[in-house]
Amino acid sequence: MEKVLASLTYFGLFQGLFILFIFLFAPKFRKNVNPYLIFLIVVLVLGLLGRTLYLLELFGREPRLITISEASMLLFGPTFALFIKSSLSDNQFKKRDLIHFAPSLIHVTYLFIYFILESDEVLGARLESGELLRIVLWLAAIGLTVNYSYWIWGWSLLLSFKKRAHQELSFEVKSKFLYSFQIAIGICLTMWLVIFLTTLFNFQLMERVIYSTVWISLTLVILFVGFYSFTQPELFHLNLPETKAKYALSKLSANDISRLKSELETLMLDKKPYLNKKLLKAELSDLLGISGPELARLLNEGFGMNFFEFVNYYRIKEFIKLAESQDTQNLTFAAIAEDAGFNSKATFNKAFREIMGKTPREYFS
């Protein structure tokens, strides 16, 4: 197990240095990389370097090298959450974001004073008295609390983005990548929690190898995000059109809602704007001659749907019409769905089940 851990440590260090090398010497890629991610990778590289020196015994098996690497414990959560936040908007680094790193700064300062500066004799005495164990448990509890809090915030950002996207877009954006990494980080944090609880109730120091495995796993997840941020930067730029407050500019009466509902139905049938795979709410509101907030209110009060659901409802109707035509008998459902305005098979299948209550194959059989 220790050999596997060492190999993962060396691999992580190499990958981190490789990413930083690209960032420093390849301006073409540098502009696509999120600064929060680069900051975290720098910290991880320093941590991995400490672990590598410890494993190679260049300075002996000095435990303080491991302590230095664990100084990044409270940086994972806030930095990755801010990375997600900036990926979902045009927001760049702001000075007020520094407040998120205050717990980490306090943590690093405490580690430096309590572990790094103290002599081996003092640390040995603390270990014998049980004080060291209590401090380790307290630090682990704080680290878990901080990282889980920011992990939950990251999920709330993603879910809020998805809700906003369905208000503005008629298609699904490629956000599954961030969801997958959030799940991976959640698994790492849960492993960490299990180790913490085991240590707490058995009152024994955490097994170094097992605990280090969690740390390395979390590190590799973030390094892979860094790698993909260079190779596929479009996965991390999911900005939505700017929106105004809900119904802020809407002055529609009940009669207006009824009239516009009829006009919108006619517009959807005659001009078929839903065939545009990248249709935006702003484009449909322009066609109808009303503002975005007014269209949002019309769809909510007149149809009981958001923009995403409304457009896909008409796409499903178009799909059924095309699928029942003799001209499409030799086409697959996926091809027909594309002709009906869907930009992905997954979105089509999900929309069809939600609207028709069956899969396309069940419906036509």
pLDDT of 276: 93
Which residue would you say has higher pLDDT here, 185 or 73? 185
Tell me the one-letter amino acid at 313: Y
CATH at residue 308: 1.10.10.60
The per-residue pLDDT for 241 is 63
pLDDT tens across 189-211, in order?
A: 888 888 888 777 775 555 555 56
Residue 248 in domain: no
Q: By the 8 A CB rule, do 25 and 32 touch?
A: no
User: Would you say residue 243 lies in a domain?
Assistant: no
Residue 158 located in a structural domain: yes
- 173 or 99: which carries more pLDDT confidence? 99
Strand partners, 58: 60
pLDDT at 254: 80
105 and 36 share one domain: yes
CATH number at residue 85: 1.20.1070
- Kindly state whether residues 207 and 266 are assigned to the same domain: no
Q: At what angle do helices 35-56 and 76-87 cross, to 10 degrees?
A: 150
Q: Do residues 23 and 151 both lie within one domain?
A: yes
Structural domain boundaries enclosing 178: 2-236
Report, as an integer, the average pLDDT of 266-282: 93
Residue 173 has pLDDT above 70, yes or no: yes
Q: Looking at the domain assignment, is residue 100 inside a domain?
A: yes
200 in the same domain as 58 = yes
Confidence label for 146 from pLDDT (cuts 50, 70 and 90): very high
Q: Give the per-residue pLDDT at 322.
A: 92
Same domain, 201 and 95: yes
| Least reliable range by pLDDT among 155-159, 191-195, 296-300, 349-353 | 191-195
**Same domain, yes or no: 169 and 123:** yes
Residues 162 and 279 in one domain: no
Asked, for residue 59, whether it belongs to a domain, the answer is yes
In a domain, 23, yes or no: yes
**Res. 141: pLDDT tops 80:** yes
- pLDDT for the residue 176: 78
pTM to 2 decimals?
0.77
- The pLDDT tens digits of the residues spanning 45-70 come to 877 787 787 777 766 667 777 776 77
User: Does the pLDDT at position 244 exceed 60?
Assistant: no
Both 56 and 97 in one domain: the answer is: yes
3-state secondary structure the chain: CHHHHHHHHHHHHHHHHHHHHHHHHCHHHHCCCCHHHHHHHHHHHHHHHHHHHHHHCECECCHHHHHHHHHHCCCHHHHHHHHHHHHCCCCCCCHHHHHHHHHHHHHHHHHHHHHHCCCHHHHHHHHHHCHHHHHHHHHHHHHHHHHHHHHHHHHHHHHHHHHHHHHHECCCCCCHHHHHHHHHHHHHHHHHHHHHHHHHHHCCCCCHHHHHHHHHHHHHHHHHHHHHHHHCHHHHCCCCCCCCCCCCCCCCCHHHHHHHHHHHHHHHHHCCHHHCCCCEHHHHHHHHCCCHHHHHHHHHHHHCCCHHHHHHHHHHHHHHHHHCCHHHCCCCHHHHHHHCCCCCHHHHHHHHHHHHCCCHHHHHC
Count structural domains, the chain.
2
Q: How many CA atoms lie within 13 A of 287 on its CB side?
A: 17
For residue 253, what pLDDT band results from cuts at 50, 70 and 90?
confident
Give the residue-averaged pLDDT of 291-310: 90
- pLDDT of 247 reads 47
* Domain assignment of residue 47, yes or no: yes
Q: How far apart are CA 129 and CA 127, in angstroms?
A: 6
Main-chain phi, psi angles of 148, to 5 degrees:
-65, -40
Cα–Cα dist 344/236, whole Å: 19
**What whole-number distance in Å separates Cα of residue 51 and Cα of residue 65?**
6
